[in-house]
Amino acid sequence: MAEYNQVYQKAVYYDIAFNRDVSREVDFMVALYHRQTGADLHSTLDIACGPGYHAREFAKRGIRAVGLDLRPEMLVFAQEQAALENVTIQWIAQDMRRFELEEPVDMAISMFDGIDALLTNIDLIQHFQAVAANLTENGLFLIDVTHPRDCSFQDYGTFVYNGCRNETVVDVVWATNMPTFDLVSAVAQVNIEMRVSENGRQQVISDTAYERLLLPQELALLAERSGMFQAVGWYGDFDLNQPLDNSPASRRLIAIMQKVR
């Protein structure tokens, strides 16, 4: 399982580069859950949550939220932000392949390519089984990854993220090494750089890890192979009217799995 240790340990810098308004995404999730199940969404699990953007947004709406991440320092930062926003969230530092919640949740989400860190079929099946074990009956699992058009066997691509806060400027270059996916394992080594300018000082934080390329039929098959899920929807954006396709409006690959047992 991949870990970007150097970057994720710099939680404040990470937040400067990646922080964004996720209210539209959460609107979609709430509406999707109601459409698929006919019920209101009461509880959620944000997997590989980082600073907990989605968990915090759910909590602001009165929806019970749990945030899970492997990196304790990221959860410390997430809790600090939740306290500033006066919301209560349960934070858990555990491996997403094997975890146990105090109470099951209605919906789990894995955002922003978090699932790509699971490199083998066994890792993914264990993950699906762990998620299902912590969902309520007919619960949903939403998986958000990069659109196949933008990251493929032919071209991993280069992704740049940046932000500025209180005289601190952060630029993250994701993939400085032109990664190539192994054709058998679909795994690539990815080098990233976080460039920070703070109070006149410059620093570059470099890191490397491995990521797996996942396509729709793979996700569906592995979810079904876990014995716990079936694929029930594919979207290209956080919009119930936008299917996964090759149009410019289809920006992400969003898979919806429903618990079947």
Length of the chain: 261
The per-residue pLDDT for range 221-260, each reduced to its tens digit, is: 999 999 999 999 999 999 999 999 999 999 999 999 999 9
Please tell me the predicted confidence (pLDDT) of residue 221. 99
Check whether 1 has a pLDDT greater than 80: no
Whole-number pLDDT of residue 3: 54
| Widest Cα–Cα separation across the chain | 56
> What does the pLDDT average to over 211-215?
98
Rounded CA-CA distance 141/153 in Å is: 26
Q: What is the location of CATH 3.40.50.150 in the chain?
A: 5-148+213-259
pLDDT (tens digit per residue) in 76-117? 999 999 999 999 999 999 999 999 999 999 999 999 999 999
pLDDT in tens, 40-81: 999 999 999 999 999 999 999 999 999 999 999 999 999 999
What CATH topology corresponds to 5-148+213-259?
A: Rossmann fold (3.40.50)
- The two tokens of residue 11 are 């939680």
Q: Would you say 172 and 160 are in contact if contact means Cβ atoms under 8 Å apart?
A: yes
Question: What pLDDT score was predicted for residue 261?
Answer: 76
Among 156, 136, 155, CA closest to 211? 156
Q: What pLDDT, on the 0 to 100 scale, is given for residue 7?
A: 74
Q: Which residues contact 142 (CB under 8 A, 6 or more apart)?
A: 29, 32, 107, 108, 109, 110, 254, 255, 256, 257
Residues of the chain with CATH 2.20.25.110: 159-211
Q: Which fold has domain 159-211?
A: N-terminal domain of TfIIb (2.20.25)
pLDDT-above-90 percentage for the chain = 95
Helix axes 53-60, 23-37, angle to 10 degrees: 70
Please give the share of the chain, as a percent, with pLDDT higher than 70: 98
Q: Which of 26, 226, 230 is nearest to 138 (CA)?
A: 230
pLDDT beyond 80 at 6? no
User: What pLDDT does residue 4 have?
Assistant: 60
